């Protein structure tokens, strides 16, 4: 019992709801809606949507965990399948190709089937394949497993974005940022959690490499040790390796997500997805085909340049610092660490920023600062100034962090509804960009100079900035063309019952 009724939580909530019903807006947030605390206690649909978003965020953490695990475990998979490093690298190629195919068909799958059934089934398949992979000793079969697993992951990844957009509509900003932030969290923690289960290579006097397990520091086998001679494994006996425990943990996480979706499916009451949207109806739903196609094409180009920037930084920053700046390899690793740390901080801060400010203004600020940081990196490294790397690399990581989810939110808010098909197209083209980035940039660096790394960063960021202004111009033209429709939907009428 409360000594003072005015201090009771129920009384406070009742007063706030009463003030809202009387036309007082003090308790409305930036989206012109009651605060999340009130809605959580009074709005069943909002509460269910929040639970679904938490489940999707946990799934995104698992996907990030898996992505961060692939690099460290590759040498162990090389031992398991008795292959060279060059042959084992095709596992990642198969994974990327599978992801490409999965992203392409994701829109069609989510349009035809039940979302909860699709997500629960595919996460279960993903979990099973993850658990099986460290037990597979056949090279071709391993490639097939990675291809199927990549396809499942492509559909799941696209599905997370599709479901968040459908759940929250034009107010998806902070929830989309939270989804992508949790992916980064999983990617950061995973290598640290995987390390104790990995094998390390010990060199003897005959230049033979023996794999020792970190968790118990014993040889994998006394009679047939795993050895590398000139990059080729001479024999294989991996039943004592602990890497399968790392994969089992990942599989258990993914399987928990599958159970969550089954639970949501069982308790579903077939409620329609009501949007408590007090803003005017979207007037761009009747856009002409040409405007929609032009907007989508420009958005896809923007996504492509963003992914080019991100992957160029991930793939070539250590190489650039080693070849052009004449740094030690450890210094290049530290520079990459500052990039990822700023990237994670940026995604965390994006949850708050997108809730407080308009999406187009945030995009303008972040892309402009990203362009300036690219110019700063180019100028300082051109004159061999080390400080430029320590300043402008983390600045780039911070600005890049929220652009992908922010662009999806901008399409939903100011252009047209983002359907599963549109998400599939964007992720498909983005995957192509990810695959061609190392080819294009690697060729330029190898043929000309390592300075093509900062040159490419400048070119891509300037192109992004120009595309943003073109899209902003198209948006302004759309608003002008639909002014009469906007007048037909005054805000005062939308608030009436």
DSSP-derived letter for residue 384 is: T
| Contact residues for 35 (Cβ-Cβ < 8 A; gap 6+) | 16, 27, 28, 29
The number of beta carbons lying within 10 Å of the beta carbon of residue 21 is 8
- Enumerate residue ranges in the chain where pLDDT < 70: 1-43, 71, 85-86, 199-241, 268-287, 329-330, 333, 434, 479-497
The pLDDT of residue 377 is 92
The pLDDT of residue 34 is 58
The number of beta carbons lying within 10 Å of the beta carbon of residue 327 is 18
Q: Say yes or no: domain 44-196+247-266 is CATH 1.20.1250.20.
A: yes
Per-residue tokens: 431:
């995957």
The pLDDT of residue 19 is 46
Instruction: Give residue limits of the domains in the chain.
Output: 44-196+247-266, 292-491
The pLDDT of residue 366 is 92
- pTM score: 0.66
The pLDDT of residue 269 is 46
The domain made up of 292-491 has a fold known as Growth Hormone; Chain: A; (1.20.1250)
| Contact residues for 34 (Cβ-Cβ < 8 A; gap 6+) | 16, 17, 20, 27, 28, 42
CA distances from 107 to 120, 159, 425 (A): 16, 8, 8
């Amino acid at each position: 019992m409360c000594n003072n009724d005015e201090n009771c939580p129920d009384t406070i909530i009742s007063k706030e709801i009463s003030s809202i019903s009387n036309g007082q807006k003090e308790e409305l947030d930036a989206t012109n809606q009651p605060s999340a605390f009130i809605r959580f206690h009074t709005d069943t649909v909002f509460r269910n949507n929040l639970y679904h978003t938490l489940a999707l965020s946990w799934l995104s953490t698992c996907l990030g965990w898996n992505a961060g695990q692939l690099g460290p475990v590759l040498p162990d998979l090389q031992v398991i399948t008795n292959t060279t490093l060059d042959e084992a690298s095709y596992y990642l190629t198969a994974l990327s190709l599978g992801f490409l195919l999965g992203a392409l068909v994701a829109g069609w799958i989510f349009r035809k089937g039940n979302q909860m059934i699709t997500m629960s089934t595919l996460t279960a398949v993903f979990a099973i394949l993850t658990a099986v992979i460290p037990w597979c000793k056949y090279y071709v079969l391993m490639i097939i497993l990675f291809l199927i697993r990549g396809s499942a992951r492509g559909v799941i990844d696209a599905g997370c974005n599709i479901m968040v957009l459908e759940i929250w509509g034009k107010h998806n900003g902070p929830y989309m940022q939270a989804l992508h932030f949790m992916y980064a969290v999983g990617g950061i923690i995973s290598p640290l959690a995987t390390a104790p289960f990995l094998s390390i290579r010990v060199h003897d006097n005959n230049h033979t490499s023996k794999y020792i397990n970190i968790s118990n520091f014993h040889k994998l086998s006394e009679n047939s040790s795993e050895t590398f001679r000139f990059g080729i494994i001479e024999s294989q006996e991996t039943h004592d390796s602990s890497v399968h425990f790392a994969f089992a943990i990942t599989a258990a996480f993914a399987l928990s997500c599958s159970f969550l979706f089954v639970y949501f499916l069982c308790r579903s009451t077939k409620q329609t997805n009501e949007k408590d949207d007090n803003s005017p109806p979207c007037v761009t739903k009747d856009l002409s085909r040409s405007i929609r196609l032009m907007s989508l094409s420009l958005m896809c180009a923007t996504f492509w340049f963003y992914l080019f920037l991100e992957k160029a930084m991930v793939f070539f920053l250590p190489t650039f610092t080693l070849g052009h700046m004449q740094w030690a390899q450890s210094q290049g690793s530290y520079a990459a660490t500052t990039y990822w740390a700023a990237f994670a901080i940026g995604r965390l801060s994006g949850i708050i920023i997108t809730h407080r400010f308009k999406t187009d203004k945030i995009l303008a600020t972040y892309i402009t600062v990203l362009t300036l940081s690219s110019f700063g990196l180019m100028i300082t490294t051109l004159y061999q100034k080390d400080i430029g790397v320590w300043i402008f690399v983390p600045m780039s990581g911070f600005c890049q962090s929220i652009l992908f989810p922010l662009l999806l939110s901008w399409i939903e808010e100011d252009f047209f509804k983002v359907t599963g098909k549109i998400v599939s197209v964007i992720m498909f083209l983005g995957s192509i960009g990810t695959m061609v980035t190392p080819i294009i940039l690697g060729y330029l660096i190898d043929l000309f100079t390592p300075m093509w790394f900062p040159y490419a960063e400048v070119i891509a960021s300037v192109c992004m900035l120009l595309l943003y202004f073109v899209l902003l111009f198209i948006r302004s033209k759309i608003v002008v063309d639909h002014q009469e429709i906007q007048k037909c939907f005054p805000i005062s009428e939308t608030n009436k019952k």
